[in-house]
Every structure is written in structure tokens, then in C-alpha cells.
Amino acid sequence: MKNLIDIMQMSTEELQELVDRAMDIIANPAKYADACRGKKLATLFFEPSTRTRLSFEAAMYELGGNVIGFSEANSSSAAKGESVADTVRTVGCYADIIAMRHPKEGAPLVATRTAGVPVVNAGDGGHNHPTQTLADLLTIYREKGTFENLTVGLCGDLKFGRTVHSLISAMSRYKGVKFVLISPEELKVPRYIITDILEKNGIPFEEVTSLEDAMPQLDILYMTRVQRERFFNEADYMRLKDTYILTPEKLRNAKDDLAILHPLPRVNEISVAVDDDPRACYFKQVLNGKYMRMALILKLLEVNV
Ligand code: NCD
């Protein structure tokens, strides 16, 4: 594997290898402290980010490497009209690996053609976000000890939420997984996810609108933000933004060992009163993201530890 653009590029074995590596990093951090000495990661972020960019950077520092990059398109030559292809061809002369976020779907794939170094998709428009899925998978693994026989509820903006698309793709390969897709009519998962992933592979799923009704059967609840920046008009966003707000009351019918995930940032969809519930895993998920990005950097740079 030279790049990570879509989570489906990785086999089940490769995903498990990354999970195992992350678990070893957690257990033996000192072993990895110099693993990327002399290597540089470039973070090219053409869209806002807190966790993804900073966790990539923290990951590289914890591996003993260095980081260069920019955090907004306006501070790069994109503002002068430079193409993505030329920008990454240039950055490939300076860095050993590139993590790139871009509002246009497919931009990181275009980048792989000229970069000359590994490219990681750190989110492309409303399409995919494979490294968030790595964070999600490690969280599920640490909470549940398995990826199999789980009922996974995804709630909120399933249309524009790129993390949702990547997580469904990844989880669809495990035995006994069932999806409950909870959204308003307007924000249902794109048709291609239903036909090309779920129906094609005979994976059980239901599309529902009520979070409360779905709650009792869930092992995982993946809440998401309504993606304001992908809406065509503000009125639709205002109408839909507070459709689902998870509160302690709504968790009354939930399983005792439910794991509540959210890729963050949270806007309004999880009440802060839920944060103290032992089932809330979204800040653990943040930390898991850093370990999985460390494991991914090691893999793409072919560093043996
Ligand atoms: C997500 C994203 O950028 O898609 N954030 C993240 O990377 N953790 C989710 C979101 O913005 O809602």
C-alpha cells in the first residue's frame, strides 16, 4: 500500500495489522520514539481542522520526525491559482509523506499522481475520511474487543458526513454486523452506499428516523454533526441541524455496554451532560486517532520497528 485514499484499499488483515501496531505503540511508546528520525510529514489542509491535522502532527513528532505544512488554502499558492497537482509535486520535493484535506472530492487521489511520496486522504469533501475510520476502528476494538456481531447505529447527517461513508465501508467486511441508519429523509446515506456496499454484500441494514426507537438494539452509536458547509442553503441547515440531540434521557433504553462515538467537532448533537456517562467514548476516540495515524505513518514509510 503506497497511499491511503479510500479505506477499501486496505484488506481486513492490513486493518488488523494497524490495530495491533497501535496497541503496541500504546504499550511501548519508547520503542517508537526515534522510528521516523529525519523524516518529514507535510500537512496540506485546504479546509478547517483541529483533530485530524494536529493528531497527524503529534503522531509524527511522537515518532521522532518533523512536520511542515499549511492549515488554510489562503496561506498557500492555491490562493494564486496553483493546481493541486503542482502544489503536491512541489511538496513531494520537501516531504517524505503528505496528509491532505481538500473540499473537492477526489483531490487527494489526483495528488497521488504527482506527489512522488505517499499521500493520505485526510478528508475530501463529502466523500471519504479513511483516517477517521482508523480512529473509529481502534475505539470499537478497544471497547468491544471485536469487530464482529455488532449492531452499529449511525445518526445525523449520513448524506454529507464523510466519516460515515468510510466507517460503513470498513465495517461492512466483518461478520454479523448490522447497520441502523438514523437520519432525516433529506440526509439519508447516498444511494451508492446502499447499492454498492450494503445490498451488494447482503449486509443487513435499516433506514429509520427515530433515534429513541433504534436505541435499545445498538452496540455502537455513532453520532454526527450536520455538515453546514456542504449545504446549498442556510434555511435547510437551520431546519435540520437540531434533528437529533443525544441526552441522558434518550440513553435510558440503551444497552449498558453501548459505546457512543462521534468524530467531533460536536456542535449540538450530544448534550454535554452525556460526557460523564461511562459509555461516552468520543474523547478516547481522539487519542486513538493519534495512535492509528502513528501506525499508518510507519506502514506507509515502510519503517520497521
Ligand atoms: C470530521 C470531518 O472533518 O469530516 N471531523 C474530523 O475529522 N474528526 C467530522 C466533521 O467535521 O463533522
Residue type, 55: S
**Ligand 1 close to Cβ of residue 263 (< 6 A):** yes
**Ligand 1 close to Cβ of residue 165 (< 6 A):** no
Burial string for 129-157 (b: 16+ CB within 10 Å, else e) reads bbbbbbbbbbbbbbbeeebeebbbbbbbb
Omega cis (within 30) before 265: yes
Gap between the Cα atoms of 223 and 282, Å rounded: 10
Does the model's pTM come out above 0.75?
yes
**Ligand 1 close to Cβ of residue 52 (< 6 A):** yes
**Ligand 1 close to Cβ of residue 167 (< 6 A):** no
Phi-psi map region of 87: left, alpha, beta (phi>0 left; psi -120 to 50 alpha): alpha
Please report the pLDDT score of residue 206 as a whole number: 98
How far is ligand 1, taken at its centre, from the CA of residue 124, in Å?
A: 10
Comparing C-alpha atoms, which of 242, 222, 79 is closest to residue 154? Answer: 222
How far is ligand 1, taken at its centre, from the CA of residue 113, in Å?
A: 25
Please report the pLDDT score of residue 280 as a whole number: 98
Q: Which ligand 1 atom minimizes the distance to the CA of 225?
A: 12
**Ligand 1 close to Cβ of residue 151 (< 6 A):** no
Q: What pLDDT tens digit does each residue of the chain (305 aa) get?
A: 899 999 999 999 999 999 999 999 999 999 999 999 999 999 999 999 999 999 999 999 999 999 999 999 988 999 899 999 999 999 999 999 999 999 999 999 999 999 999 999 999 999 999 999 999 999 999 999 999 999 999 999 999 999 999 999 999 999 999 999 999 999 999 999 999 999 999 999 999 999 999 999 999 999 999 999 999 999 999 999 999 999 999 999 999 999 999 999 999 999 999 999 999 999 999 999 999 999 999 999 999 99
Q: Is 30 helix (H, G, I), strand (E, B) or coil?
A: helix
**Ligand 1 close to Cβ of residue 53 (< 6 A):** no
CB atoms within 10 A of CB 24: 15
Q: Which residues are catalytic?
A: 51-52, 80, 101, 129
How far is ligand 1, taken at its centre, from the CA of residue 193, in Å?
A: 19
- Listed in sequence order, the residues at least 6 apart from 85 whose beta carbon sits closer than 8 Å to its beta carbon are 110, 111, 113, 114
Gap between the Cα atoms of 198 and 179, Å rounded: 9
How far is ligand 1, taken at its centre, from the CA of residue 52, in Å?
A: 8
Pocket of ligand 1, candidates 54, 105, 132, 281: which has the most ligand atoms within 8 Å of its Cβ, to mutate? 132
Phi-psi map region of 140: left, alpha, beta (phi>0 left; psi -120 to 50 alpha): alpha
Q: Is 270 helix (H, G, I), strand (E, B) or coil?
A: strand
Pocket of ligand 1, candidates 52, 241, 261, 270: which has the most ligand atoms within 8 Å of its Cβ, to mutate? 52
Gap between the Cα atoms of 28 and 284, Å rounded: 18
**Ligand 1 close to Cβ of residue 102 (< 6 A):** no
Gap between the Cα atoms of 159 and 186, Å rounded: 8
In degrees rounded to 5, what are phi and psi of residue 31?
A: -60, -25
Please report the pLDDT score of residue 230 as a whole number: 94
Residue located nearest, by CA, to atom 7 of ligand 1: 52
DSSP string, 158-215: TTT-HHHHHHHHHHTTSTT-EEEEE--GGGPPPHHIIIIIIITTT--EEEES-HHHHG
Do residues 12 and 173 make contact, with C-beta atoms less than 8 angstroms apart?
Answer: yes
How far is ligand 1, taken at its centre, from the CA of residue 8, in Å?
A: 19
How far is ligand 1, taken at its centre, from the CA of residue 99, in Å?
A: 15
Residue located nearest, by CA, to atom 3 of ligand 1: 123
Grid coordinates representing 261? 462515538
Grid coordinates representing 114? 504527482
**Ligand 1 close to Cβ of residue 163 (< 6 A):** yes
